[in-house]
């Protein structure tokens, strides 16, 4: 156990002694802050009639978006999840790229324990990224909602449950990043996969799957959909035309955990326990 805790401390030190983490934190905060603030202003403006639907050319589209605060707050994970994935993938592939597996395994020869410590560490730091992302979506988005006279629901227990589930989702996403990193140790390939999948492939798949009921049920198990189910709100579920209900929050959490576990275990076999040359 002491060996595991030492490894966790060492993994924390690895993350916080390089510059990557705070660069990602700054970009995450600005990105989510702008998005949550901007869309809070737009939706709240339309809903309260401050902005006329005609002015934004929605062509007589919806003027009622349901309860706005969960939608705005969920940007922390529904859009911000790519950041903990990147951190996890970079932290893992960096060990291969910079050949730091050698000193790591010399200090701690039990490789499974090292990978477990890395996963535990990244889950905690991923949750930390969740705090930053929520500071942006709740802080800025909620502030804008209040400015438009929409109740930010900050005293509502549902809001705080959503916040807690967002932290969990962000932690699990970082663990998925670690799993991807051992599955695809090539750093460039790993980054390309993260960006292509999260920004392009999965949103398209979710949209395509949502048109038929049977595919929509399968689409619910895509990692992004599972994450949104776990958090409980998302701009993506709002846009779903088929109206298939998402997974329960705990099911979504288990699906995310499953992705992380499967990737990590396979990655352990195909790269982590191989010869370090």
Partner 1 sequence: MPTGAVIEFTNISKRFGGVTAVNDLSFTVEPGRVTGFLGPNGAGKTTSLRILLGLVAASSGAATFGGVRYRDLPHPLKTVGAALEAASFHPGRTARSHLGVYAIAAGLPRTRVMEVLTQVGLAAHAAQRVGGYSLGMRQRLGLAYALLGDPGVLVLDEPINGLDPEGIRWIRGFLRDMAAEGRTVLVSSHLLSEVAQSVDDVVIIARGELVHLGPLSSLDTDAAPQTIVDSPDRENLAAALTSAGISFSIGRTGLLAASPDPAVLGHIAFAAGVELSVLHRQKAGLEDSFLALVGGGHTL
- Round to whole Å and give the CA distance between 238 and 37: 18
Closest CB to partner 1 among residues 59, 109:
109
> Can residue 103 be called a binding residue for partner 1 (CB under 8 A)?
yes
* Placement of tokens 């989510």 in the chain: 32
Question: How far from 111 is each of 105, 108, 228, CA to CA, in Å?
Answer: 7, 7, 33
> Can residue 2 be called a binding residue for partner 1 (CB under 8 A)?
yes
Closest CB to partner 1 among residues 105, 221:
105
Burial degree of 86 (CB within 10 A; 0-12, 13-18, 19+): buried
Judged by DSSP in three states, 221 sits in coil
Closest CB to partner 1 among residues 190, 240:
190
Are 116 and 92 within 8 A, CB to CB? no
> Can residue 276 be called a binding residue for partner 1 (CB under 8 A)?
yes
Count of Cβ atoms closer than 10 Å to residue 135 Cβ? 15
Q: For residues 37-76, b (16+ Cβ closer than 10 Å) or e, as one string?
A: bebbbebbbbbeeebeeeeeeeeeeeeebeebbbbbbbbb
Binding range to partner 1, per CB under 8 A, among 95-103, 123-131, 132-140, 172-180? 95-103
Binding range to partner 1, per CB under 8 A, among 96-104, 124-132, 202-210, 244-252? 96-104
* Total site size for partner 1, rule CB under 8 A: 27
- Round to whole Å and give the CA distance between 156 and 209: 33
Among 240, 197, 194, 195, smallest CA distance to 222 is for 197
Closest CB to partner 1 among residues 65, 105:
105
CB of 7 to partner 1, least distance (A): 6
Binding range to partner 1, per CB under 8 A, among 28-36, 79-87, 98-106, 133-141? 98-106
CB of 215 to partner 1, least distance (A): 43
> Can residue 275 be called a binding residue for partner 1 (CB under 8 A)?
yes
Sign of CA dihedral 38, 41, 46, 52: negative
CB of 51 to partner 1, least distance (A): 46
CB of 12 to partner 1, least distance (A): 9
Binding track over 129-148 against partner 1, x by CB under 8 A: --------------------
> Can residue 58 be called a binding residue for partner 1 (CB under 8 A)?
no
- Residues in touch with partner 1 (CB under 8 A): 2, 6-7, 9-10, 13-14, 17-20, 94, 98-100, 102-110, 275-277
């Amino acid at each position: 156990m002491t060996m595991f805790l030492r490894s966790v401390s060492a993994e924390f030190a690895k993350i916080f002694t390089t510059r990557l983490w705070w660069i990602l934190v700054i970009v995450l905060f600005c990105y989510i802050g702008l998005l949550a603030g901007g869309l809070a202003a737009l939706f709240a403006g339309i809903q309260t009639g401050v902005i006329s639907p005609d002015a934004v050319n929605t062509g007589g589209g919806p003027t009622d978006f349901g309860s706005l605060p969960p939608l705005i707050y969920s940007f922390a994970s529904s859009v911000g999840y790519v950041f903990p994935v990147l951190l996890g993938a970079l932290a893992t592939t960096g060990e291969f790229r910079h050949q730091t597996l050698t000193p790591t395994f010399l200090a701690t020869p039990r490789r499974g324990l090292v990978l477990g410590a890395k996963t535990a560490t990244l889950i905690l730091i991923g949750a930390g990224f969740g705090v930053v992302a929520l500071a942006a979506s709740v802080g800025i988005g909620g502030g804008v909602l209040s400015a438009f006279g929409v109740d930010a629901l900050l005293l509502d227990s549902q809001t705080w449950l959503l916040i807690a589930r967002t932290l969990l989702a962000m932690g699990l996403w970082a663990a998925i990043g670690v799993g991807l990193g051992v599955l695809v140790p090539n750093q460039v390939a790993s980054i390309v996969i993260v960006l292509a999948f999260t920004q392009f492939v999965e949103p398209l798949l979710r949209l395509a799957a949502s048109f038929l009921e049977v595919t929509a049920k399968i689409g619910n198990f895509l990692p992004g959909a599972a994450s949104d189910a776990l958090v409980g709100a998302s701009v993506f579920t709002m846009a779903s035309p088929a109206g298939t209900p998402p997974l329960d929050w705990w099911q979504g959490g288990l699906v995310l955990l499953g992705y992380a576990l499967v990737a990590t275990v396979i990655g352990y076999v195909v790269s982590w326990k191989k010869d370090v040359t």
